[in-house]
Amino acid sequence: MKRSFALALAALFLFLLSVNSFSAQRKAEYGAGELFVSEDGLWRCEITGESSVSLYSGIMNLSAYNGDETVVKVPSKIDGYTLVSIGKYAFCDCERIVNIVLPDTVKEIGLGAFNNCPSLLQVVIPESVTKIDENIFDEQTSVKIASVKGSAAQVYAKNHGIQFVEIGTSSKAKTGWKNVSGCWFYYNEDGSMQFGWKKIKGKWYYFDDSGIMKTGWKHLSGEWYFFDSTGAMQTGWKSIAKKWYFFNSGGKMRTGWLASGGKWYYLKSDGAMATGWQKVKDVWYFFNSKGAMLTGWQKISNKWYYLDSGGKMLTGRQVIDGKVYYFDSQGRWIKLDKDSQKIVYITKTGNKYHYDPTCGNREYYTSTLSDALRRGLTPCEKCVHA
């Protein structure tokens, strides 16, 4: 027993010694004034001091950003080190960046930090920043600074003729919804501006690269979505500009065939619900005023048509419920009574029958109407209904 306890105690001592040795090695590896690249490869940083003697502790200066995202949320800690300043030219030549959000641990922004960023529209600067170099931008006239009222960032924007977007007057005011010049923004619990998708109280919203809540139609990742006047993403049936659309549970606009409520609908290439006659892959279908596909016998514009169980409009000779019916090329039922023995004119190889023997100036042979229909011929629209 004593021997086992002694071995365990020795093992614990060796473990603690190795931890202290590794900690000392880590701190020695990243000394003050030295550079290192973060484990994810996105950040190159300079150690400026230590906040404690714990493993991976310390403070640092952001030296450069190596990523290619359009919206960059700078973390407050990188590999365990607290970020306190944005160094000289940290984001210089980052041509794709549209929006940058700095954490509330940052206190200083250095010279040319955002130079030559042609796509940059907005930088969110926290109220923790108290020192900003005279020239953090070059000639980017379209860029905006977003911060709280009374911050150093607001003073900087005013002194340098840069448009300022107010996002509150205190740390508490930076959370939740904020309306600025008629545009809605949303700030998370950490005070960061929301970009992209966000679920708020059970509803989905989308915020663009400037943080503005979107309404109306929005094309995202190859799919169409619709957001109502409150910004909420729509699902299910939705009437927009007097046309009906259907959005699935994920908000994506549907096209093509749709089964809903035990009925079939067809949504055209632009997503609008079809009504009336609609040709789909060379087949004619009919949809009522509510968009439901019809089947069976249908009287449309005082003409009778037959639509099979799949909605397809029938033409030619058809057997329906054990009886023979004839439909012309436009699907209209041809009622055979005394006209069934009427003389029509056909050609040897043609697929039409004619009432006028001079139609087309061709050589015709006589036939009865009923015989022409049995052979599957359809009427010539030029002379049959003349």
Residue with tokens 């040795």: 21
At 92-120, the pLDDT tens digits run: 888 888 999 998 888 999 888 888 888 89
The span from the CA of 226 to the CA of 232, in Å, is 8
- Kind and range of the H or E run holding 72: strand 71-73
> Comparing C-alpha atoms, which of 200, 205, 198, 193 is closest to residue 231?
205
Continuous H helices in the chain? 2-29, 152-159, 369-374
pLDDT at 316: 86
> Comparing C-alpha atoms, which of 73, 74, 130, 66 is closest to residue 94?
66
At 183-213, the pLDDT tens digits run: 899 988 877 788 999 999 999 999 998 789 9
| 310, amino acid identity | G
DSSP β-ladder status, 256-260 and 263-267: antiparallel
The span from the CA of 86 to the CA of 117, in Å, is 15
pLDDT at 291: 97
The span from the CA of 371 to the CA of 108, in Å, is 94
Whole-number Cα distances in Å, 201 to 156, 233, 246: 36, 12, 23
Regarding pTM above 0.85, the answer is no
DSSP-assigned letters across all residues of 275-327:
-EEEEETTEEEEE-TTSPBP-EEEEETTEEEEE-TT-PBP-EEEEETTEEEEE
The span from the CA of 166 to the CA of 213, in Å, is 16
Name residue 196's beta-bridge partners.
Answer: 207
Q: Show the tokens assigned to 74.
A: 């700078």
Residue with tokens 């407050």: 76
Q: Do the beta carbons of residue 58 and residue 82 sit within 8 Å?
A: yes
Which residue stretches of the chain have pLDDT < 70? 1-38, 41-42, 44-67, 140-141, 168-174, 336-341, 384-386
- Kind and range of the H or E run holding 243: strand 243-247
pLDDT at 337: 57
- Grouping H, G, I as helix, E, B as strand and the rest as coil, residue 258 is strand
pLDDT at 45: 66
The span from the CA of 126 to the CA of 136, in Å, is 15
The span from the CA of 246 to the CA of 253, in Å, is 6
Which residues contact residue 217 at a Cβ distance below 8 angstroms, ignoring those fewer than 6 apart? 224, 225, 226
> Comparing C-alpha atoms, which of 23, 46, 22 is closest to residue 34?
46
| 108, amino acid identity | E
